[in-house]
Amino acid sequence: MIILACTCRLNGACWPIKKRSSALEESPRPGSQKGKTQAGRAIIGAFVVALVMKFFLFDFMIAEGHSMIPVIKPGKVLLVCRVFYGIRVPGSGVYFVRWGVPKKGDVVVFYTPLGEIAVKRCGEALPGNVFYALGDNGDQSYDSRNYGPVPDNNIIGKVIGVR
């Protein structure tokens, strides 16, 4: 709230002065309707930001299986960058915008041709927008040696951290 006051000088002229009331008067009281509305908006805003980050930017996944041992052991948490190769339309295998393809050695998360989520190393990028996915655990890995090359559109993202 702004309060206007006048100061009078010796000559009688009046000059307006802006005076701010204290912050305590401007902030809503705990339990007031305005305070509840502001808290509700903050919670909804945080929820929307979290969903956007989950579906468009980053994701956390827990590793299962033994295909990537010794680099990634079962139970490890993976930080996956969903926008490393481009922006996908959520729930589809279509890239809205694409700026890269996996390179040999990249650890990627993708959908196998059978529809399962897998974490493998890109062994080789092949013509026709496909790549050869290989597990680090040699013959113990279920990878492209079993199900063939994987389309680039099946990529969920690149693993950028293991914890």
Q: What is the pLDDT along the chain (163 residues), one digit of tens a residue?
A: 333 333 444 444 444 545 554 444 555 666 677 778 888 899 999 999 888 887 778 889 999 999 999 999 999 999 999 999 998 887 777 888 999 889 999 999 999 988 899 999 999 999 988 999 999 998 889 999 999 999 998 999 999 999 9
Q: Using CA atoms, how far apart are residues 57 and 46, in angstroms rounded to an integer?
A: 15
Under 8 Å between Cβ of 97 and 83: no
In the prediction, which pLDDT does 8 show?
42
CB 44 within 8 A of CB 32: no
Reading the block at residue 103, the tokens are: 């390179």
Residue 144: its H or E element: helix 144-147
Instruction: Say what the pLDDT of residue 29 is.
Output: 65
pLDDT of residue 52: 81
Neighbours of 154 (CB within 10 A): 19
